């Protein structure tokens, strides 16, 4: 306030400052233009502009003088010259009753326009990510949809932020664990370590997830919140993924360039993060819809078929009373009994949803063994006893040596033990959702022992809460199976996975 008063006093007392001089300090030029488009007066800063800028300034003012109907109206126009954007504020001048002149100010709004352009680019990238067109998406399974989303995120981050190293994590609302969903360039945490949403001791990502506030780190080497990520990281930017103002995850960019990210990037990544949150939420809803639809359909099928099956059994008992006195009758009754039992078994398998293995009874034990599987050491990890036992039975019938577990920790110990005995597993099958681990951890542990060991992940109707399939697919996953799957499909994929010759003597 004191400085303002002093300046005012100087202006009033000296009389050397006029309105044009004052505007000169606020804008990039002031000029008066006539109806012919001639600049009849200009300030020094306007005179210092390029000829192209002065010409565009004069043409813009001329058009307003000719077209504007109200002599008192103010008009705002923009034009581009090269890489710069200028804004012109124009007011018509009335001289001797004629409004054939205009006074205008010129302002270089390139930084502001650049921000507007980048915001538009973010919106366009977000719209593309959310444009899950039915023609494109419907034929894809859940993992393939996530891969499509990943490719769009990677492209957007590269084009919008020149970022090639990133991590996207989703927040588990119950455990507060931040699960890695998408990543490139930044190594995941070691097996067994977790990142949680917490203000203290959880790094920048945990802080952002806990507070919902973005974080620009311009000096990771001296920032106590920064945890090791990209080797030789010199700058990082982390923002929350917000869905209806609720934190659902985080997105983290890292770079070796100390000036890679600024406050403008921070604002834009916050905006883009909302689109990522919406896209992931849509995919999760599709998974839930598919699962609940299956549950509803299978329940209806069971109810509808239960009555005729019960009627068949009652009819069979009636026939047994009348036909049991002949050998032909007994044979016919036995065949009918077997058919009904097979029908009930297949119905049970087909309606068990993601816990079922279909077509087990169609796999003949004799004469159909797969030579590739004979003698192979196979590890199976699944907490569903029925499907675990079915897989063990199917593979054992083919001559494989199968070890199975219901949880992840003993499976990880078995992987290490087999390695130490110089008898590593030659194929690993694991469900993505285990009581204590997830499929990605099983995958990483297997690949750490031997990068060539094939891994098959299994999931029920695409349900993959830790997004193990997408993460593993980035690093060499052989394939994934969606339950319920056919027993023959399991055998086919197991044979494709094992490409080395069988052990000698088998």
CB distance 379 to 411 below 8 Å: yes
Measured distance CA(437)–CA(239) in Å, rounded: 27
Q: How far apart are CA 105 and CA 366, in angstroms?
A: 92
3-state helix, strand, coil in the chain (%, to 5): 50, 20, 30
| Cα atoms in the Cβ-side hemisphere of radius 13 Å centred on 194 | 15
Q: Between these two residues, 15 and 430, which has the higher pLDDT value?
A: 430
Give residue for tokens 């009918």: 336
Which of 22-36, 115-129, 327-341, 429-443 is the least confident region? Answer: 327-341
DSSP symbol at 384: -
Cβ atoms of residues 254 and 228 within 8 Å: no
Q: Is the pLDDT of residue 161 over 60?
A: yes
pLDDT of 470 higher than 60: yes
What are 396-424's pLDDT values in tens digits? 988 999 999 999 999 999 999 999 999 99
Among 361, 365, 364, 363, smallest CA distance to 345 is for: 361
Q: Give the pLDDT confidence score for residue 93 in this predicted structure.
A: 81
Cβ burial of 499 (10 Å; 0-12, 13-18, 19+) is: exposed
Mean pLDDT of 139-150: 70
Q: What is the pLDDT of residue 406?
A: 92
CA atoms within 13 A on the CB side of 104: 33
Burial status of residue 440 (CB atoms within 10 A of its CB: 0-12, 13-18, 19 or more): buried
pLDDT for residue 271? 94
How would DSSP label each residue in 191-233?
Answer: TT---B--SSSSHHHHHHHHH---EEES-GGG-TT----STT-
Q: How confident is the model at residue 360 (pLDDT cuts 50, 70, 90)?
A: low
Helix or strand holding residue 302 (H, E): helix 263-323
- What pLDDT, in 10s, does the model give residues 265-276? 999 999 999 988
For 410-459, what is each residue's pLDDT tens digit? 999 999 999 999 999 999 999 888 888 888 889 989 998 888 899 998 88
pLDDT band at 233 (very low <50, low <70, confident <90, very high): very high
Check residue 499 and give its pLDDT. 74
Assigned token pair, 140: 């894809």
Indicate if the pLDDT at residue 152 is higher than 60. Answer: yes
Residue 4 has pLDDT above 50, yes or no: no
The tokens describing 107, both together, are: 């302002």
Q: Which of 199-213, 237-251, 348-362, 369-383 bottoms out in mean pLDDT, i.e. has the lowest?
A: 348-362
Instruction: Note the pLDDT of residue 239.
Output: 96
Arithmetic mean of pLDDT, 235-240? 96
Confidence of residue 253 (pLDDT cuts 50, 70, 90): very high
Q: How confident is the prediction for the chain on average, in pLDDT?
A: 79
Is the pLDDT score of 367 beyond 50? no
pLDDT for position 205 = 93
Query: Which band of pLDDT confidence, cut at 50, 70 and 90, is reported for residue 289?
Result: very low
pLDDT band, residue 247 (cuts 50/70/90): very high
Average pLDDT (5-31) is 59
Indicate the angle between helix axes 110-130 and 263-323, nearest 10 degrees. Answer: 0
The predicted-structure confidence for 197-224, as pLDDT tens digits, reads as follows 999 888 999 999 999 999 999 999 999 9
Query: How sure is the predictor about 10, in pLDDT bands with cuts at 50, 70 and 90?
Result: very low
- Listed ranges 4-13, 272-281, 360-369; the one with the highest mean pLDDT: 272-281
**pLDDT of 51 strictly over 90:** yes
Quote the distance between the C-alpha of residue 69 and its chain's center. Answer: 53
Query: For position 142, what pLDDT does the model report?
Result: 61
- pLDDT-derived band at 194 (thresholds 50, 70, 90) equals confident
Which three-class secondary structure string do you get for 314-334? HHHHHHHHHHCCCHHHHHHHH
Answer whether 0.75 is exceeded by the pTM: no
Distance between CA atoms of 107 and 53, rounded to whole angstroms?
A: 11
Region 165-176: mean pLDDT is 86
pLDDT above 90: residue 467? no
* DSSP count for the chain of H helices, then E strands: 15, 17
Which range is least confidently modeled, 61-65, 73-77, 146-150, 502-506? 502-506
d(CA 74, CA 173): 54
> Which residue, 438, 431, 485, 479, is CA-closest to 458?
431
pLDDT at 299 over 70: no
- Contact assessment for residue 482 and residue 461, using Cβ atoms and an 8 Å cutoff: yes
Angstrom distances, CA of residue 133 to CA of 91, 155, 237, 293: 49, 18, 31, 21
CA distance 213 to 206: 11
Overall size of the chain counted in residues: 506
In this predicted model, which residue has the larger pLDDT, 193 or 396? 396
pLDDT digit string (tens) for 25-35? Answer: 788 899 999 98
Average pLDDT over residues 385-391: 88
Spell out the residues 6+ positions from residue 153 whose beta carbon is closer than 8 angstroms to its own: 129, 166, 168, 182, 276
Q: What is the 3-state secondary structure (H, E, C) of 64-82?
A: HHHHCCCCCCEEEEEEEEC
CB 104 within 8 A of CB 86: no
Tokens of 68: 């504007």
Instruction: Tell me which of 97-106, 340-349, 466-475 is least confident.
Output: 340-349
* DSSP-derived secondary structure letter, 502: P
Is residue 422 within 8 Å of residue 414, measured between CB atoms?
Answer: no
pLDDT band per the 50, 70, 90 thresholds, residue 475: confident
Query: How confident is the model at residue 320, as a pLDDT?
Result: 66
| pLDDT at position 304 | 55
Model pLDDT, residue 479: 84
């Amino acid at each position: 306030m004191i400085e303002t008063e002093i300046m005012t006093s100087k202006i009033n007392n000296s009389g050397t400052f006029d309105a044009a001089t004052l505007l000169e300090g606020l804008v990039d030029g002031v000029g008066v233009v006539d109806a012919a488009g001639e600049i009849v007066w200009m300030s020094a800063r306007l005179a210092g502009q390029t000829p192209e800028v002065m010409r565009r300034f004069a043409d813009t003012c001329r058009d307003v003088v000719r077209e504007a109907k109200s002599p008192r109206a103010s008009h705002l126009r923009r034009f581009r010259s090269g890489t710069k954007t200028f804004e012109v504020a124009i007011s018509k001048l009335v001289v001797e009753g004629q409004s054939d002149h205009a006074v205008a100010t010129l302002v270089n709004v390139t930084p502001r326009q650049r921000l507007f352009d980048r915001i538009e680019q973010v919106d366009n990238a977000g719209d593309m990510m959310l444009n899950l067109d039915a023609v494109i998406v419907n034929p894809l399974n859940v993992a393939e949809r996530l891969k499509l989303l990943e490719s769009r995120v990677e492209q957007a981050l590269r084009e919008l932020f020149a970022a090639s190293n990133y991590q996207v994590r989703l927040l588990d609302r119950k455990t507060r664990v931040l699960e890695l969903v998408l990543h490139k360039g930044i190594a995941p945490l070691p097996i067994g370590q977790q990142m949680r949403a917490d203000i203290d001791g959880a790094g920048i990502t945990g802080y952002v997830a806990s507070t919902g506030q973005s974080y620009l780190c311009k000096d990771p080497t001296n920032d106590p919140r920064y945890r090791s990520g990209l080797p030789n990281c010199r700058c990082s930017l982390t923002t929350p993924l917000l869905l209806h103002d609720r934190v659902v995850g985080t997105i983290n960019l890292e770079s070796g360039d100390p000036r890679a990210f600024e406050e403008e990037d921070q604002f834009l990544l916050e905006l883009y993060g909302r689109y990522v949150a919406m896209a992931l939420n849509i995919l999760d809803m599709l998974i839930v819809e598919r699962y609940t639809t299956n549950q509803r359909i299978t329940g209806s099928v069971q109810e509808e078929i239960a009555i005729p099956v019960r009627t068949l059994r009652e009819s069979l008992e009636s026939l047994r009373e009348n036909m049991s006195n002949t050998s032909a009758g007994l044979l016919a009754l036995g065949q009918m009994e077997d058919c009904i039992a097979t029908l009930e078994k297949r119905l049970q398998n087909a309606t068990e949803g993601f816990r079922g293995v279909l077509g087990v009874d169609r796999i003949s034990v004799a004469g159909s063994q797969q030579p590739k599987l004979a003698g192979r050491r196979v590890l199976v990890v699944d907490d569903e006893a029925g499907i675990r036992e079915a897989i063990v039975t199917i593979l054992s019938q083919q001559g494989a040596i199968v070890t199975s577990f219901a949880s992840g920790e003993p499976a990880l110990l078995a992987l290490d033990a087999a390695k130490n005995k110089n008898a590593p597993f030659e194929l690993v099958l694991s469900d993505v959702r285990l009581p204590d681990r997830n499929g990605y951890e099983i995958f990483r542990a297997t690949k750490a022992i031997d990068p060539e060991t094939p891994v098959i992940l299994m999931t029920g109707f695409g349900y993959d809460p830790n997004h193990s399939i997408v993460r593993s697919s980035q690093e060499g996953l052989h394939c994934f199976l969606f339950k319920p799957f056919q027993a023959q499909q399991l055998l086919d994929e197991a044979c494709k996975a094992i490409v080395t010759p069988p052990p000698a003597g088998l």
